[in-house]
Structure 1
Amino acid sequence: MTLASRACAQLATWPDLRQAVPSCGQGQAVVSAKGEIVHFHSDRDVDLRLTDRAIRRFARDLKRSGVIRIVPGSPWVTLRLDAASDVDLLLTLVSVALQAQQFPPDTVDRPLMGCNDQRGAGFVKVDRGALW
């Protein structure tokens, strides 16, 4: 079982979440009643919709993690699942994403234009502590 399939299976057991076809058409999505939260694009690459407000709040920690790529202007972040601890981080961030959906949209929030996979930006990972 890959890290992505393990994470997807765990999220499928959470109340109020279900698996679906992602709007980008690639991979598997996890959605709540308020919309898409996670897109699993491969065995390792996952896009997570946090909202602009949540990204601004946690930007320093997200960048420091070494497994998260922030795309300017996107309410989605991309995680690279290389270890079991990355799955734990993803599950924690899904909780943050669910909480972020409870707030009214931020005036800075941009319209949902698709996940980062549609932006065509790939990972260029130098080392565990580097940013993409």
Structure 2
Amino acid sequence: MTLAERALERLEAWPDLTAGPSGCGTGRALRSQHSEIAHFHSGRDVDLYLTDSAIRRFRDDLRASTAVRLVPGSQWVTVHLDCDTDVDLLMSLVSMALKAHPAGPAPAAACNFHRVTVVPRDSPFEPIRR
């Protein structure tokens, strides 16, 4: 069982989340009552819908994590699962995402799966979207 499969299995047990196909067409999704929260695209990569305000609030902490990838202009972050600690981080971020979403329906936002980022050599913390 991959780390993503284990994380998905744990999160499916949360009462505020339901599983189904992802809106982007690749992998499985977890959704809250109002919107998709996470897309499990592979055995290691999960896109998580945090919202602009949550990303701004925790930007420095998210950038400091080697497991989290930010894409400029995206309300989603990508979490790369390499170890059990990354799964624990994902659990915390899912909890944060659930709290960050408004009570009403969220606008549709494309996840990071089909986006390409290039990180300049001289600035590893500022990816450029192409």
* Cα root mean square deviation, aligned: 2.3
Q: Tell me the TM-score normalized by structure 2.
A: 0.86
User: Superposed, which structure 2 residues align to 1:63-74 within 5 Å?
Assistant: 63-74=63-74
Residue of structure 1 in register with 2:29 after alignment? 29
Are positions 1:81 and 2:77 aligned together? no
2:110 counterpart letter in structure 1 = G
Q: CA deviation at 1:16?
A: 1.8
- Give runs of ≥4 in structure 1 deviating > 6 Å: none
Are positions 1:113 and 2:109 aligned together? yes
Q: How many residues align?
A: 123
- Residues 48-76 of structure 1: CA distance to partner in whole angstroms, max 9, x if unpaired? 00000000000000010111011010000
1:9 counterpart letter in structure 2 = E
1:26 counterpart letter in structure 2 = T
Structure 2 residues without counterparts, runs of 5 or longer:
none
Q: CA deviation at 1:104?
A: 7.3
Q: CA deviation at 1:103?
A: 6.2
Structure 1 residues without counterparts, runs of 5 or longer:
125-129
Q: Distance in 2 between matches of 1:40 and 1:121?
A: 19
Secondary structure at the counterpart of residue 82 of structure 2: coil
Percent identity reads 54
Secondary structure at the counterpart of residue 38 of structure 1: strand
Q: Distance in 2 between matches of 1:117 and 1:48?
A: 11
Q: CA deviation at 1:34?
A: 1.1
Residue of structure 2 in register with 1:60 after alignment? 60
